[in-house]
Chain A
Amino acid sequence: MSIDDKKISKAENVAGKTNVRSTEPITEMTVSQLSRLLQARSITSVEVVDAYLKEISLKEPDVHSYITITAELARKQAEKVDKLRAAGQQLPALAGIPAGIKDNICTAGIPTTCASKMLEGFVPPYNATVMEKLAAQHVIIVGKTNMDEFAMGSTTENSYFKKTRNPLDLDRVPGGSSGGSSAAVAANEAAFTLGTDTGGSIRQPASFCGLVGMKPTYGTVSRYGLVAFASSLDQIGPLTKDVRDSALVLNALIGQDSLDSTSVAHPDSDFTSDIEGGVNGLRIALPKEYLSGGLSDDVREAVLNATKHYEKLGAHVEEVSLPNLKYALPAYCVISSAEASSNLARFDGVKYGYCAQDYEDIDQLYKKTRSEGFGREVKRRIMLGNFVLSADNYDAYYKKAMQVRTLIIKDLNTIFDRFDLIISPVSPTTAYKLRDKVGTPLEPYQDNLYTVPANIAGIPSLSIPCGKDSQGMPIGMQLAGKAFSEATLYRAAYAYEQSMKGGK
C-alpha cells in the first residue's frame, strides 16, 4: 500500500495547490482528490465516470465485482452534475463521484438481487434511505456489487451469480459478504462503495483487499431499504481507499430516519473536522483474547507493531481481558440465524422473485420455491434459526444468546470506562484461496471471531490496513469504540495512516 499512498499524496498536492489537471489516472484517486478536482471544474463528472466505466470493462472479466452495471444511468447522472456545476451551482462534496452499491441495498428501478436466485430480476419500486441520501449528494451509481447470498458468508463465493476475485491476487477471495464492494474499490472500479456489516461483512473484505471499511454505530445509518439479514446487527457503511474518504462518505450516510424505528441521530455531523487531531493521550485497550487461537503469526505481529506505533504517536496502550468475548461468536450464530429465518420467510414465491413451476398446493409452492430459490448456506442458516426459535429450544439457545449479548455489552462498557478504543486484528488470516473453506460450514464463521462483538454491542468499528503478510497480501487491524465514537476512530485511524505514509 505504500506505493499507492505516495501516488495519492502527490496527486493531493497537485490538485490542492494548483487546481491543475493531475497526470494521475482518475480511477486511482481518492474521493477527496476527485471531489476537489470536480469542484474546481478541473475535470468533469463525465470524464470521471467514463474512466471508471473503462476500468470496469477492463477488470470485470477477471474480478467480477458487479452483478449489475448501470453505465447508461451513470453517464446520464454525470451529465446532469456537470450541467449543474457549469451553471454555477455549488454541489456537495460527493457530487459527481462514482460509487458501487452492494446488491442488498434497494435501488429504485435497478435490480436488487441479494446475489440470490430468489430475487433474480427483482426491481424495487423504492429507494433505500441511503440511496436517497446519496442521490441528494449527486453521487453517481455505476453498479450493484456482488456479495454472498443475502450477506451470508465471508468469501463472496456464496453468490448465485458469480464468484468475485481479489484484485490483489486473482486466486484469492476478496472477503465477504461485501466482497464485490471491496474488490470494486481495490480494482479501481468505483471511487467508493457501500457495504453492509452484520458480523464483519464490511471490515473483513476491506482488510482482505487493503481498504478502509467502517461499520458505524447501530442505528446511525438508516436500514430502510436494506434487505434484512439480521435486523438487530445489520448496518450499512462505506469501503474506501483511505480514512478521510471513509469519513467523507459516512458524513453523507448518517441521519435519523422516520422510516426506521431503530435509527438514531448521531451527535456528530462532520467526521472530517477533527480527523487530524492525533492520538496523543488516547487510551487504547488490547484484549489478550484477541491475540490467541487460530491467529496467524503475520497478523499478530502486524497488530502488535501497530500498537507499538500508536505508543510512539503518544497513545497509551494496555493489555486487557474480555473473558466473555469467546461467547460472542456462538451468540452471534444463534441471534443472526434466528432473525434471518424470520426475515427471509417472506420469500415464498407468492408476491415477487422466484416462483417454482409445477406445484399442486400452497405448501408445495412454498417448499419448492424455497428449496430451489435459496442456496445451501442460506438454507442452513434458516434451518438453524428456526431450530433455535422453536418452542422446545428457545430458552436454551435464543434466550441464552440474548443473555450473552447483554454480558458482552457489559464487558465492553467496562473497558470503555477506562479506554477510548479497542485494537485488534480484523480477521485471523489474510485473504485465502478460493474454495479453501468450502465444505466446512462452520469455518467461515471463524473469520468473524474478532468482528462480531461490535455488531453484538452495536458499537462502531473500522478496519484499516496495517501491513502485508509474507505473501504480500494486506493485513487489517480493527479499531472499535463506544457508541457514537466514530470521530475518535477516524482520528486514530488517520493518525496511523498518515504516519505510516510518512515513514515510507
Chain B
Amino acid sequence: MASIANYEMVIGLEVHVELKTATKLFCNCPTTFGAEPNTQCCPVCLGMPGTLPVLNEQAVNYAIMAGLATNCQITHFSIEDRKNYFYPDLPKAYQISQLDLPLCHDGYIDIETEKGDAKRIGINRIHIEEDAGKLIHEDSKGTFIDCNRGGVPLIEIVSEPDIRSAEEANAYLQKLRAIILYTGVSDCKMNEGSMRCDVNLSVRKKGETSLGTRTEMKNLNSFQFIMKAIEYEFKRQVESVEAGEAIVQETRRFDQQSGKTFSMRTKGDADDYRYFPDPDLAPIRISEERLRDLSSKIPVLPDQRKQEYVKQYEMTPYAAEQITMQKEISDYFEAVVENTNYPVLAANLIQTEVMRLLTQDEVDIPISAANFAGLVQMTGDGKINSSTSKKVLNMLWEKDQNPVELVRKEGLEQINDKDELIEIARQVVTEQPKLTADYRKGKTAVLQALVGQVMKKTSGRANPVIIKEAMVEILEETEEQA
C-alpha cells in the first residue's frame, strides 16, 4: 500500500435535485412527498396511450435559477430529448431529459475544505428531466410500483472531473446544497431523496494528465456514505491497477453495512438510450427579459455573505463558510450581530454549541436573536465566562428568556473581584500541598489543575484569567516566604 500515495483520484459528480414545484414536470399532479402510493398520478404521468406532456414553466424557471446561482451560461434555445429504456418504474419506457442542448452549461462553484484549501469546481451542465416511479420489493408478495414520484421535476447537475479527494467532494456537495437552498428551488433533503448523488471515479498516477477508466457509484444517500464510498473505491481501484488488472467501466453499488462497493452491471451495448428530440414538446426558448426577471430573483448567495463576513467581522474563511452554509443560520447570525459588538464570539457560539444542539437538517433555533445577542454581549463584556455562556445557552435552548435576568436570578455572574479570588486561591494552595510542591519544583503545568480547583469552588463563575494571575502571584509569594 505504500504506492497509494503515488496515485490521485479523479472525481466527477452527478447530482440530482428535485425541484420544489407544486406540480409535476409534464402534468398537474401534486409533488407532495410521502403520499399513499399511486394517489398522485394521472393518465399523463402514467404514460397512458394518447396522452401528451405539457412542460411546467415554473420548473424551467427553477432550473435556470439553479444555473444562474452556479455561474452557468443559460441556453436560449434548448431541446428536450427522449432517453429510451425499459424499466417497470418508467411508464412511457422513455424518460424526457436533455442531451445536446441542456438549459444551463459551463458554470462553477468555489469550495473551501476544512484544511483551508480553496478551489473552483467546474459545472459541465445542468439539465432538466423527469423522475421515475419507485419500485417497492416485498419478499413474500413480489414487487410493487408507486408512480407518485414519476414525473416529478429534477435537475441533474454534472460537475467537471475537477474533484481530487473525498473532502473536496464533500465540500462541493455541501456548497452546492447551500447554493440551491439559498435560491429556494429545492429542499435538498437527502433522506427523502430530493437530493441524490452519483459518483464517477477513476484513478491515475500523480502527474499524469489522461483519465483512467471510471466507475459509477449510484444513489448514495448521505454525505458520510459518499465520502466512505469514495475512499473505498479509490483504494480498490489503486489495488487493481497495482495488481495489473484493468478497471472495468461499470456501475457499482455501495453497501452501507460493509462500507464496500459491488459491481451492479457493466456498461456495454445494453446502454444505448437511442436519444432523440421529443416530438411532443416544442424547443424551450428563453428570452432576455425572462432571464433578467429570473436573475433578479437570485438572493445574496453564500459566497457573497462569506466574503462580507471575512471582511467586516474578520472571521476566518472557513468559519465564514460554515456559518453561511445554511441560509437560515446565516440569517440568524446576521440578526444576532445587529445587537452585539462581538460578531466573532457569536459566530463561534453558533458554530460550536448551536450546531451541536441542532440535529441533522434542522435549522430552527429556539432562541430569539435578541436573547442570543444578549448572551453574546454578556460573554464578550466578561459578565459571564465562556463555560457559563455555554451553560446559559443550553438553558435558553430549553426555555427562551432574557439571559441577563436569568444570569442574575441564577447567580451566574462572573467573579471578577481579584481580592475575592485571591482569598479562594489561598485556600486552594493550603488544601493542595502536593500540587503546590510540584509547581515549586518547576512543574508549572499543574497551574491549570490549581485554577480548576478555584473554578470548582466558585461553581465555574470565576474569571479564569484573573484566577490565573492571582494563583501565580500567591505561588510565587509563598515560594519567597519559603
CB distance from A11 to the nearest CB of B (A): 37
CB distance from A245 to the nearest CB of B (A): 26
Show 22 residue pairs from A and B whose CB-CB distance is below 8 angstroms, ordered by the A residue.
A112-B49, A112-B50, A122-B49, A224-B50, A224-B51, A224-B52, A230-B279, A258-B54, A261-B52, A261-B53, A261-B54, A261-B280, A261-B281, A261-B282, A262-B279, A262-B281, A339-B279, A346-B49, A346-B92, A351-B91, A386-B274, A389-B276
Tell me how many residues of B have a C-beta within 8 Å of chain A. 28
* Shortest Cβ distance from A128 into B: residue: B50
Which stretch from B2-10, B40-48, B59-67, B190-198 is at the chain A interface? B40-48
Q: How far is the CA of A128 from the CA of B43 in the complex (A)?
A: 12
Are B279 and A106 closer than 8 Å at their CB atoms? no
Q: How far is the CA of A232 from the CA of B92 in the complex (A)?
A: 17
Are B52 and A346 closer than 8 Å at their CB atoms? no
Partner of B94 from the list A226, A230, A345 (CB cut-off 8 Å) is A345
Which B residues lie at the A interface, using CB under 8 A? 43, 46-55, 82, 84, 86, 88, 91-94, 145, 272, 274-276, 279-282
Q: How far is the CA of A390 from the CA of B270 in the complex (A)?
A: 11
Interface centre among B50, B84, B88, B94 (most CB of A within 10 A): B50
CB distance from A55 to the nearest CB of B (A): 29
* Shortest Cβ distance from A219 into B: residue: B282
For residue A126, CB closer than 8 A to chain B, the reply is yes
Contacts of B82 in A (CB 8 A): 342
Are B47 and A346 closer than 8 Å at their CB atoms? yes
For residue A225, CB closer than 8 A to chain B, the reply is yes
* Shortest Cβ distance from A345 into B: residue: B93
* Shortest Cβ distance from B278 into A: residue: A231
CB distance from B51 to the nearest CB of A (A): 7
**Known contacts A232-B279, A261-B55; is A366 also within 8 Å of B86 by CB?**
yes
Are A345 and B84 closer than 8 Å at their CB atoms? yes
- Interface residues of chain B: helix, strand, loop or mixed (majority): loop
Are B272 and A348 closer than 8 Å at their CB atoms? no
Are A389 and B274 closer than 8 Å at their CB atoms? yes
Contacts of A342 in B (CB 8 A): 82, 84, 93-94, 274, 276
Contacts of A258 in B (CB 8 A): 54
Are B49 and A124 closer than 8 Å at their CB atoms? yes
Interface centre among B43, B145, B279, B280 (most CB of A within 10 A): B279
Within 8 A of B (CB), among A106-133: 106, 112, 114, 119, 122, 124-126, 128
CB distance from A113 to the nearest CB of B (A): 10
For residue A427, CB closer than 8 A to chain B, the reply is no
Contacts of B55 in A (CB 8 A): 261
Are A391 and B272 closer than 8 Å at their CB atoms? yes
* A-B contact sample (9 more), CB < 8 A, given A348-B93, A394-B276: A104-B50, A124-B43, A124-B48, A225-B51, A260-B52, A260-B54, A261-B53, A339-B279, A346-B92
Are A231 and B279 closer than 8 Å at their CB atoms? yes
Within 8 A of B (CB), among A190-237: 223-228, 230-232
Contacts of A295 in B (CB 8 A): none
Q: How far is the CA of A390 from the CA of B271 in the complex (A)?
A: 10
Are B282 and A262 closer than 8 Å at their CB atoms? yes
Are A362 and B84 closer than 8 Å at their CB atoms? no
* Shortest Cβ distance from A350 into B: residue: B88
For residue A259, CB closer than 8 A to chain B, the reply is yes
For residue A398, CB closer than 8 A to chain B, the reply is yes
Contacts of B86 in A (CB 8 A): 345, 348, 366
Q: How far is the CA of A191 from the CA of B349 in the complex (A)?
A: 83
Are A119 and B49 closer than 8 Å at their CB atoms? yes
Q: How far is the CA of A449 from the CA of B46 in the complex (A)?
A: 36
Q: How far is the CA of A258 from the CA of B52 in the complex (A)?
A: 10
**Known contacts A342-B84, A345-B92, A389-B84; is A231 also within 8 Å of B280 by CB?**
yes
For residue A187, CB closer than 8 A to chain B, the reply is no
Give a binary string over A308-333; 1 marks a CB under 8 Å from any B CB, 0 the rest.
00000000000000000000000000
Interface centre among B46, B47, B53, B274 (most CB of A within 10 A): B274
CB distance from B281 to the nearest CB of A (A): 5
